[in-house]
Structure 1
Amino acid sequence: MSESIGIIAGSGQFPRLVAQDAKAAGYRVVVCAFHGFTDPGLESVADAYETVYLGQFNKVIAYFRGQGVRRLCMAGAIDKPRALELRPDLRAAKIFFSLRGKGDDALLRAIMADLEAEGFTLMQAAELSGSLRCPEGFLTRRKPTPEETADIEFGWPIAETLGHFDIGQCLVVKQGIVAAVECMEGTDATLRRGGELGGEGCVAIKRCKPKQDERVDLPSIGLNTIRLLIDRKFRCLAVDAEKTLFFDRAEALALADKHDFCIVALTDALFERLRGDSAD
Structure 2
Amino acid sequence: MAVAVTSDSGKIGIIAGGGQFPLLFIEAARAAGRQVYVVAHRSETDQVVAEAADRSCWVKLGQLGKIISFFREHGVQETVFLGTITKTRIFRDVLPDLKGLTLWNKIDSRQDDAILRAVAAELEREQITVLESTLFLKHLLFPKGVLTRKKPNHGQRRDIEFGWRHARAIGELDIGQCVVVRDCSVMAVEAIEGTDATILRGGALAKEQAVVVKLRKPGQDFRFDLPATGVGTIDTMRQVQAAVLAVEAGQSLLFDRDRMIAAADAAGIIVVGVEERPDGSLDY
TM-score per shorter chain, which class? over 0.9
60, 65, 74: which is aligned to 2:81? 74
2:281 to 265, 269, 272: 272
Contact 1:8 1:33 in 2 (8 A): yes
Partner SS, residue 190 of structure 1: helix
Change (3 A) 1:12 1:190: same
Deviation at 1:127, TM superposition (A): 1.3
- Worse overlay, 87-96 or 144-153: 87-96
Q: Deviations over 1:159-213 (max 9, x none)?
A: 1111110000110001111000011011111111111111100000111000211
Aligned to 1:221: 229
In structure 2, the CA distance between the partners of 1:196 and 1:273, relative to structure 1 (3 Å rule), is closer
Query: Is the alpha carbon distance of 1:134 and 1:87 closer, same or farther for their aligned partners in structure 2, counting shifts above 3 Å?
Result: same
Alignment TM-score, normalising by the size of structure 1? 0.94
Identify, as 1 or 2, the structure richer in helix: 1
What TM-score results when the alignment is normalised by the length of structure 2?
Answer: 0.93
Q: How big is each residue's C-alpha offset from its partner over 1:137-179, in whole Å with a ceiling of 9 and x where there is no partner? A: 1111211111111111111011111111000011000111100
Q: 2:129 matched to which residue of 1? A: 121
**C-alpha displacement at 1:28, in angstroms?**
0.3
Determine helix, strand or coil for the equivalent of 1:125.
coil
Structure 1 ranges of 4+ moved more than 4 A? none
Q: Which runs of 5+ in 1 are unaligned?
A: 276-280
Structure-1 residue corresponding to 2:258: 250
- 1-structure distance, mates of 2:237, 2:179: 13
Which one-letter code corresponds to 1:148 in the other structure?
Answer: Q
Kindly report which structure 2 residues correspond to 1:17-166, keeping only aligned pairs within 5 A, or say none: 17-85=24-92, 86-166=94-174
Where does the alignment leave 5 or more consecutive residues of structure 2 unmatched? Answer: 1-7
Contact persistence 1:149–1:274 (CA under 8 A):
no
Q: Secondary structure at the match of 2:277?
A: helix
TM superposition shift of 1:56: 0.9
Contact 1:2-1:26 within 8 A present in 2 as well: no
Amino acid across the alignment from 2:225? D
Question: How many pairs were matched up?
Answer: 275
Contact 1:9–1:76 under 8 Å retained in 2: yes
Q: 5, 18, 28: which one pairs with 1:11?
A: 18
RMSD over aligned CA atoms reads 1.7
What is the alpha-carbon distance in structure 2 between the residues aligned to residue 190 and residue 100 of structure 1? 26
Shift of 1:39: 1.2
Task: State the partner residue of 1:170.
Answer: 178
Structure 1 range deviating more: 262-271 or 116-125: 262-271
